[in-house]
Structure 1
Amino acid sequence: MNQRTLLITLTGPDRPGVTSRLFSVLARFPVTVADVEQVVIRGRLTLGVLVAYDSGPSTGTGSTLGAMWAAVEHVAEDLGMEVELSTGTMTKEHRRRGRLDVTVLGAPLLPAAMAGIASRIAAAGANIDRIERLASYPVTCIELAVSGADPDGLRAALAAEAAAQQVDVAVQRSGLHRRAKRLIVMDVDSTLIQGEVIELLAAHAGCAEEVEKITAAAMRGELDFEASLRERVALLAGLPESVFDRVREQIVLTPGARTLVRTLKRLDYRFAIVSGGFTQITDSLKAELGIDYAAANTLEVVDGKLTGRLVGEIVDRPGKARALERFAAEAGVPISQTIAIGDGANDLDMIAKAGLGIAFNAKPVVRQAADTAVNVPYLDSILYLLGIPRLEVEAADAEDGLVPAER
């Protein structure tokens, strides 16, 4: 026997008991629950319930449908809510191809941006199946579940729209892999922390301006990283070893860094930092934040003074990619489940190697190469790309006695 459906949509002020009242009424009739969705925006509830029933005599005042229809309208009137009812035929849902999660970040997020993104999705022949807000401050983040799209084609189209609308958009495959254990590998200078450690050291050596120029050119990809690093390090010769203590005191974490690390550690993610900077600084960051793995260069110190040379293997552009592979193997995480975050040209290889490459407030060459770019100044915004809502983060922090300011 064919089944018919009745879609019930209740809209009105949210209050306790609305869902209970509706289902209590439906329980009196020979129907099954086929689907339920509910959303509350600024205290206003929209509740949609799809019920299925066997077809038969379904018209007339005394029919099952007529009685159910009248009962639902009575509940809506009693609750002071609007109700819409529509009938249909039960059909088997077929999984559409190209299930994707599209994450939109804006500060602020304007209607024009959402209009442009929705238009691009429609132009790609895709459908928006669900929309959910993940955060409202300090950035607004909206996630859209999209089906029927070619991932590469939609990613390219939305990247162009994101640039035009000055928002950030990420396109990822949906599925269990977003909830699996993952490895985050992050650059340090101008990513995990604000500024460049070598420039802080150079300020103590009296050569800050010269080092800043070389660093900027290297991060833009205009200079070979290893050669430029050795040139800058040579300018530090003669600094006392105690300079590391002074520089550690000067380091400022990027807003949201602590929140990002502790939230992902709660979820059993593994966390690594890979830096073209120096172990004398990254080792303390690793210990302070509870990071699992770290790789960086080491400044040579002889008789309590910097020699202006490096010791050991150089962590440069290819070195960062090798570190990502090594840490993934140690953590037992496939490369497809790794995430690389960086801002400079020496991060390009690890961003390309990772399952998801994120350019964080990055140079243009990095933004163009990465899977997605985040251009807001809050590192914990990356949580939203992983489908983690801000309210859940704050609830976990509250349980641990932390306040929202401890970003």
Structure 2
Amino acid sequence: MNDTRTVLVTITGKDRPGVTSTLFDALGEFNVEVIDVEQIVIRGQLVLCILVTAGRDEGELRAAVHRAAARVGMHAEIRSGVGDNAPRAAGRSHVTLIGAPLRSGAMGAITGRITACGANIDRIFRLSKYPVTSIELHVSGAPTEKLRAELAAEAKLQGVDVAVQRSGLWRRAKRLIVMDVDSTLIQDEVIELLAERAGCLGEVAKVTEAAMRGELDFEQSLRERVALLAGLDASVIEDVRRAVRLAPGARTLIRTLKRLDYRCGIVSGGFTQVTDHLVAELGIDYSAANTLEIVDGRLTGRLVGPIIDRPGKAAALRRFAAEAGVPLSQTVAVGDGANDLDMLNAAGLGVAFNAKPVVREVADAVVNVPYLDTILFLLGLTRDEIEAADAEDDAEDSD
């Protein structure tokens, strides 16, 4: 095909039914081979590109295309050349850009960095327009790791989020997501809800914050905080369960991934007395958390069993992946604190969700908006696809 004469037809104008079929009917009269087609509509304006072989009578083909375009009120531009599209360069990546809002200056700065890396943007399209604007760019010509480092620095300057992932089949194959719970799957820190009822919130919150920044050993800090809960009536756990607030988009995230046959797990430095309820409510497949010791209806201030700390979270991810039959390269991990770092590093895609600086600096992707379902855009799903699936389920439920 490299030495075959080709014709690129570009059709622009107000979109309306029948444009594409009219153009292909005209081309069909010449029995030319279709090599490539791409179409996009923005605010009712259509851009349709068709690459075909030139055929025996290129002049008549051009005239037929112009006549067909005029019949549907469109403008046609036709260019002749030789061969197919130039092949994409090596080093292919998906770049997901997220803003709330996404301003033109940020878009210009990010695309400028891509150019500075020696890379080319091959395709751009929108994944969502609310509650955040997310844009995906297909980029070639630069190593993914280099691109990730450069764009992470620029995203920080511009106040937007960016995720850079290697292109290929592996991106479509992820089949296990494991999430931290406190301040990730839920908006709260469960131990602080308990501490509030025990009258020691200030002391516990201070230690929690330091532990999440990585300044304290997690296991030691957890035992110290739990000790402050000694004597608390176990009945308050039910109050805490009712007080827990899911992160916005949490149900949408899990519901959508379940439709795609994902397995979903949670791993928490919090407590099974609360996470077991989340497992039942959300249909979680795998769970690991710490357990508060309760004797005679009161918290003893101690924990039962092994501690789920930073290494424990990574071990849980590996255990869940083995049980699900999913390679670690096909897993997603989401967290916000220093005790999530090993888990994020072990996963195929580690996502820092509204995370501490120490986590944002090393994660594969950073999300700083409060909507957990934004993670779906990192996986290449669009808001339209998500809502269409929800609408279809609603229609089936109403039958």
Question: TM-score with structure 1 length normalisation?
Answer: 0.95
Q: 2:214 aligns with which of 218, 221, 230?
A: 221
Residue 24 to residue 91, structure 1, CA distance change in 2 (3 Å) = closer
> Contact (CA 8 Å) 1:244, 1:280: kept in 2 or not?
yes
2:15 corresponds to? 14
When the two chains are superposed, the root-mean-square deviation of aligned CA atoms in Å is 1.3
Which residue identity is paired with 2:265? A
> Contact (CA 8 Å) 1:192, 1:257: kept in 2 or not?
yes
2:304 corresponds to? 311
Secondary structure in structure 2 of the residue aligned to 1:131 = strand
Residue 23, structure 1, aligned to residue 16, structure 2: no
Question: TM-score with structure 2 length normalisation?
Answer: 0.97
Consecutive aligned runs of 4 or more in structure 1 exceeding 4 Å deviation: none
Secondary structure in structure 1 of the residue aligned to 2:106 = helix
1:126 corresponds to? 119
Distance (whole Å) between structure 2 residues aligned to residue 180 and residue 335 of structure 1: 11
1:140 corresponds to? 133
> Contact (CA 8 Å) 1:133, 1:143: kept in 2 or not?
yes
Q: 1:161 aligns with which of 154, 167, 182?
A: 154
Distance (whole Å) between structure 1 residues aligned to residue 150 and residue 124 of structure 2: 19
Distance (whole Å) between structure 1 residues aligned to residue 26 and residue 393 of structure 2: 42
Residue 348, structure 1, aligned to residue 349, structure 2: no
> Contact (CA 8 Å) 1:30, 1:53: kept in 2 or not?
no
Secondary structure in structure 2 of the residue aligned to 1:169 = strand
Distance (whole Å) between structure 2 residues aligned to residue 94 and residue 82 of structure 1: 28
Secondary structure in structure 1 of the residue aligned to 2:182 = coil
Residue 87, structure 1, aligned to residue 85, structure 2: no
Distance (whole Å) between structure 2 residues aligned to residue 149 and residue 52 of structure 1: 32
> Contact (CA 8 Å) 2:174, 2:331: kept in 1 or not?
no
2:382 corresponds to? 389
Q: Structure 2: where are the runs of 5+ without partners?
A: none
- 1:6-405 alignment runs, 5 A limit: 6-53=7-54, 64-91=57-84, 93-401=86-394
Identity %: 68
> Contact (CA 8 Å) 2:328, 2:348: kept in 1 or not?
yes
> How far has the Cα of 1:43 moved from its partner?
1.0
Deviations 1:170-202 (A, max 9, x none): 111112122224211100000000020000000
Deviations 1:35-58 (A, max 9, x none): 00000111111100011135x7xx
> How far has the Cα of 1:91 moved from its partner?
4.3
> Contact (CA 8 Å) 2:290, 2:307: kept in 1 or not?
yes
State the number of aligned residues.
Answer: 394
> How far has the Cα of 1:93 moved from its partner?
4.7
Which residue identity is paired with 1:31? V
> How far has the Cα of 1:99 moved from its partner?
1.5
> Contact (CA 8 Å) 2:97, 2:160: kept in 1 or not?
yes
Distance (whole Å) between structure 1 residues aligned to residue 374 and residue 280 of structure 2: 23
> How far has the Cα of 1:155 moved from its partner?
0.7
Q: Structure 1: where are the runs of 5+ without partners?
A: 57-63, 403-407
Deviations 1:41-77 (A, max 9, x none): 11111100011135x7xxxxxxx11111111111222
